[in-house]
């Protein structure tokens, strides 16, 4: 039995990223939900791995009982690994495993993403490191209130290929200045303001060991990151297991069922709509780069998760794991969402031509109404998107939990 539990709830895109990295690293694990934790599932594991996502939403999913069960698990000697939002869950503002906080949004550099250089400290997790170049994806920043917390890596600098909001770092450093752009955007953009901030930390909660990372060592197709990713599990799980992964087989000439084909066409058409309207483009095979003011993360998340469902059906021939009524309901909701999303995106493109537009603020009343219906009024997932992505998440987890 696997010693590693992957907490699935409220991770979405980041759950897919974590799942792929676990599979690519041949690490044996079991995906679990907050309800499993409430039912004492952690007793059979040695390590709880919590991927990215909104920490507050994870807390809500866990509830008071789930939070208590995690604390008991760590207190009695279980270990905890959290990336980004999973790291935020362990802070004093979360479930309180370590006495650390996050820098308030208005004081941090909130929109940095892409490759950065770090300053790693001596520690077993850095064994075999080939460079100090790793990936951040819109991280928070740690404030440490506890002397016993050990810093394993600090932020050094952003590479020219990184982005702050939708601005490429190398372009601004060569031809502009951050201060001017910060006045225009109304947020901190200069990555130098992050210099020296801790990115990876380690501490203890009673008998348990905790490692929290703002670096996404689960970034796809980055061998340097995956080396440290595997080191982390070997460090935190003494009985680390290498799984005997089932061989992936293609479907050859066998076509996808019509309902699945239709699902794929719908989501691919939405992404192509944004591309041809110059609203986003791909940065890697999981993450889009979008114009400021567009809810690009939501569209990206929806695409990646639906494509993952289709991919798993193809390689495992597991269409029968999905109920037709669930698939039909998802397709109906997706069609309605996409129709409204396309109208929203075109109105957003128009507003971008006229002036400043943010993901939460616009001057056009029709557009404001549509955005509220689709996404709610906060940065975290809400509105019709939340209903839709929960349906997608349910289907994806159902498949993964049955094939692992």
Average pLDDT value for residue range 183-201: 96
62, pLDDT greater than 80 = yes
Give the whole-angstrom CA distance, residue 265 versus residue 268.
Answer: 5
Average pLDDT value for residue range 244-249: 46
Is 250 a member of any domain? Answer: no
88, pLDDT greater than 70 = yes
Is 304 a member of any domain? Answer: yes
Is 249 a member of any domain? Answer: no
Q: Which of 206, 236, 266 is the last residue of a domain?
A: 236
Q: Higher-confidence residue: 195 or 316?
A: 195
Q: Are residues 204 and 267 in the same domain?
A: no
pLDDT of res. 249: 46
Comparing 71-75, 89-93, 237-241, which segment has the lowest mean pLDDT? 237-241
404, pLDDT greater than 90 = no
pLDDT of res. 28: 94
pLDDT of res. 130: 87
Max mean pLDDT among 81-95, 244-258, 351-365 falls in: 81-95
Is 252 a member of any domain? Answer: no
Q: Are residues 86 and 183 in the same domain?
A: yes
Closest CA to 80 of 72, 27, 64: 72
Name the H helices within 242-323: 258-276, 296-316
Is 48 a member of any domain? Answer: yes
Give the domain extent around 398: 258-403
Q: Measured between alpha carbons, how far is residue 306 from residues 188, 282, 337 in Å?
A: 34, 16, 14
Q: Are residues 264 and 392 in the same domain?
A: yes
**What is the count of structural domains for the chain?**
2
pLDDT of res. 245: 45
Tell me the pLDDT band of 324, cut-offs 50, 70 and 90.
Answer: confident
Q: Are residues 204 and 301 in the same domain?
A: no
Tell me the pLDDT band of 2, cut-offs 50, 70 and 90.
Answer: low
CB 9 within 8 A of CB 52: no
Is 336 a member of any domain? Answer: yes
Q: Are residues 225 and 127 in the same domain?
A: yes
Q: Are residues 222 and 269 in the same domain?
A: no
Q: Are residues 101 and 38 in the same domain?
A: yes
Is 246 a member of any domain? Answer: no
Q: Are residues 274 and 191 in the same domain?
A: no
pLDDT of res. 258: 85
Chain-centre distance of CA 257, in angstroms? Answer: 29
Tell me the pLDDT band of 322, cut-offs 50, 70 and 90.
Answer: confident
Instruction: Note the pLDDT tens digit of each residue in 137-171.
Output: 999 999 998 889 999 999 999 999 999 999 999 99
CB 170 within 8 A of CB 125: no
- Among residues of the chain, what percentage have pLDDT more than 90? 82
pLDDT of res. 247: 45
Residue 105: CATH number of its domain: 3.40.50.880
Q: Residue 352: CB partners within 8 Å, gap ≥ 6?
A: 291, 293
Q: Are residues 105 and 200 in the same domain?
A: yes
Q: Are residues 275 and 227 in the same domain?
A: no
Name the H helices within 76-222: 85-89, 169-175, 178-185
Tell me the pLDDT band of 239, cut-offs 50, 70 and 90.
Answer: low
Instruction: Note the pLDDT tens digit of each residue in 263-281.
Output: 999 999 999 999 999 999 9
Average pLDDT value for residue range 67-89: 98
Average pLDDT value for residue range 225-230: 96
Question: Which residue in this structure is represented by tokens 């993450």?
Answer: 287
Q: Are residues 269 and 334 in the same domain?
A: yes
Is 200 a member of any domain? Answer: yes
Q: What is the mean pLDDT of the chain?
A: 92
pLDDT of res. 307: 97
Q: What is the C-alpha end-to-end distance of the chain, expressed in Å? A: 11
Instruction: Note the pLDDT tens digit of each residue in 363-403.
Output: 889 999 999 999 999 888 999 999 999 999 999 999 999 98
């Amino acid at each position: 039995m696997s010693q590693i539990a992957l907490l699935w709830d409220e991770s979405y895109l980041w759950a897919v990223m974590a799942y792929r990295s676990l599979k690519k690293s041949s690490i044996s694990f079991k995906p679990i939900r907050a309800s499993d934790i409430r039912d004492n599932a952690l007793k059979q594991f040695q390590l709880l791995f919590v991927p990215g996502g909104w920490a507050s939403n994870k807390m809500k999913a866990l509830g008071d009982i789930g939070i208590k069960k995690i604390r008991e698990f760590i207190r009695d000697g279980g270990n905890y690994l959290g990336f980004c939002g999973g790291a935020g869950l362990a802070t004093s503002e979360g479930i309180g495993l370590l006495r650390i906080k996050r820098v308030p949004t208005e004081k941090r550099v909130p929109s940095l993403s892409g490759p950065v250089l770090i300053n790693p400290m001596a520690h077993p997790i850095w064994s075999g490191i080939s460079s100090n170049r790793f990936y951040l994806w819109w991280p928070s920043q740690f404030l440490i209130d506890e002397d016993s917390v050990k810093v394993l890596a600090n932020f050094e600098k952003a590479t020219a290929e990184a982005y702050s909001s939708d601005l490429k770092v190398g372009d601004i450093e060569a031809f502009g200045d951050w201060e001017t752009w910060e006045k225009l955007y109304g947020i901190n953009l200069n990555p130098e303001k992050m210099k020296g901030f801790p990115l990876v930390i380690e501490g203890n909660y009673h008998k348990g060991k905790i490692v929290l990372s703002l670096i996404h060592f689960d970034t796809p197709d980055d061998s340097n990151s995956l080396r440290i990713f595997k080191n982390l599990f070997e460090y935190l799980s003494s009985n680390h297991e290498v799984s005997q992964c089932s061989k992936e087989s293609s479907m050859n000439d066998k076509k996808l069922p019509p309902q699945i084909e239709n699902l794929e066409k719908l989501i691919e058409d939405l992404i192509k709509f944004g591309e041809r309207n110059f609203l986003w483009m791909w940065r890697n095979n999981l993450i889009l780069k979008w114009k400021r003011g567009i809810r690009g993360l939501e569209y990206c998340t929806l695409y990646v998760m639906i494509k993952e469902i289709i991919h798993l059906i193809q390689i495992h021939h597991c269409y029968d794991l999905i109920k037709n009524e669930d698939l039909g309901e998802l397709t109906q909701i997706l069609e309605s969402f996409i129709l409204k999303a396309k109208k929203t995106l075109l109105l957003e493109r128009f507003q971008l031509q006229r002036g400043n537009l943010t993901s939460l603020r616009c001057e056009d009343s029709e557009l404001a109404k549509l955005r509220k219906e689709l996404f709610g009024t906060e940065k975290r997932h809400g509105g019709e998107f939340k209903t839709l992505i929960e349906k997608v998440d349910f289907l994806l987890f159902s498949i993964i939990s049955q094939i692992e």
